[in-house]
Amino acid sequence: MKNRKDDHIKYALEHESEYNSFDDVELIHSSIPKYNLDEIDLSTHFASHDFEFPFFINAITGGSENAKKINQKLAKVANECNLLFVTGSYSAALKNSNDDSFKIVKKENPDLQLATNIGIDKNYTAGIAAIKALNPLFLQVHVNLMQELIMPEGSRNFNEWENNLKEFVENINIPIILKEVGFGMTEDTIKQGIKLGIKTFDISGRGGTSFAFIENMRRENSLDYLNNWGQTTVSCLLNLKNYTDKVEIIASGGVKNPLDMIKCLVLGAKAVGISRTILELVVKYDVEKVIKIVESWKNECKMIMCALNAKNIQELRNVKYVLYGKTLEFSMQKI
Ligand code: FNR
């Protein structure tokens, strides 16, 4: 039988988004610098934890032999580079008591900053089981409505979701992050989440991995006109500018390089999650080479911050920018 998790990896790597919202953002640089390169501080804080770097490996996988190998490589990179690592949805392990594709990362990297993930369609007890198994720093609860709808074997009943989330908040004693999977989140969703007690949101927008594309590749009659469903990462961040001091906004979706990361931080994100870009690297290269690339990203982030006269993540919020194209059009409309 074909494994769904292997399909996700395969089709995620086949898809290239046609449109990159980061190209629509131009940062205004400074010609007279204030800081030396080694004065730049990349550290950040969210979900009640300090992190040395403002980017992390976001939820990807678990639940198959291939997923286990990928998790081992990703976790090694995260451990060596002192990055946060978030596993894919833990529900794969709950279905199979022999699964060790998640636990192995902890076993091999006991000091790793680790978090995990579960779907909002699950009862909070699934979250408790995941926490018991992995002792994560926080739990991501993912929302993926259009994915479920396109997925042939996906959920068809959704009116439990809101109550499930409420119960997660009431019964889970570590921080919870409400997370999209590449369709984006805007103000109305954030307001609903705040009402239910959520303090941290990963808006995971359109522009990178498309779970509409992935599920369309897995079904007989492709609904490929839905492949670009949702809002882009930059549009979501612009839409949520008034919320960046009220809640913690994490950005992900289509982040390819340190300039994209810095743009997310300028737009108010506390940290930046990367899935497809790092998945592609660990599939293509050995761990040592990926570690070198990630180490270089840290320096590149510092270079860009230096050229923007921003000493830390907080100061990045003062950086001016201009918008172009579809992103500008989006930003001019009240939604
Ligand atoms: C994902 N993503 C994901 N998200 C989640 O909340 N739970 C999950 O189990 C998975 N699984 C998963 C598998 C694969 C192969 C990929 C590439 C991605 C979504 C991911 O965390 C992120 O939100 C989106 O992929 C958008 O970011 P990128 O990929 O454009 O950087």
Q: What pLDDT, in 10s, does the model give residues 271-329? A: 999 999 999 999 999 999 999 999 999 999 999 999 999 999 999 999 999 999 999 99
Q: What is the dihedral of CA 3, 4, 9, 12, to 10 degrees?
A: 150
Atom of ligand 1 nearest to the CA of 254: 30
pLDDT for 335 equals: 87
> 34 C-alpha vs ligand 1 centroid, how far in Å?
38
Residue 236 has pLDDT above 80, yes or no: yes
pLDDT for 248 equals: 98
Token pair of 326 as six digits? 């579809």
pTM for the whole thing?
A: 0.98
Q: Pocket of ligand 1, candidates 4, 6, 60: which has the most ligand atoms within 8 Å of its Cβ, to mutate?
A: 60
Domain that holds residue 176: 4-333
Tell me how far apart the alpha carbons of residues 25 and 325 are, in angstroms, rounded to a whole number.
Answer: 9
Q: What is the rounded end-to-end Cα distance, in angstroms, of the chain?
A: 44
Cβ proximity of 85 and 105 under 8 Å? yes
Averaged pLDDT for residues 108-135: 98
pLDDT band at 30; cut points 50, 70, 90: very high
Averaged pLDDT for residues 4-26: 96
Averaged pLDDT for residues 151-172: 97
DSSP three-state, residue 116: strand
pLDDT for 1 equals: 44
Report the domain count for the chain: 1
> 25 C-alpha vs ligand 1 centroid, how far in Å?
24
pLDDT for 334 equals: 87
Tell me what percent of the residues of the chain surpass a pLDDT of 70. Answer: 99
Residues with CB under 6 Å of ligand 1 are 8-9, 12, 58-61, 88-89, 117, 140, 142, 179, 181-182, 204, 208-209, 252-255, 274-277, 279
Cβ proximity of 96 and 65 under 8 Å? no
65-81 helix and 287-307 helix, angle to the nearest 10 degrees: 50
pLDDT for 2 equals: 67
In whole numbers, what is the pLDDT of the chain averaged over residues? 97
Averaged pLDDT for residues 220-228: 97
pLDDT for 7 equals: 96
CATH code of the domain in which 19 resides: 3.20.20.70
Residue 59 has pLDDT above 50, yes or no: yes
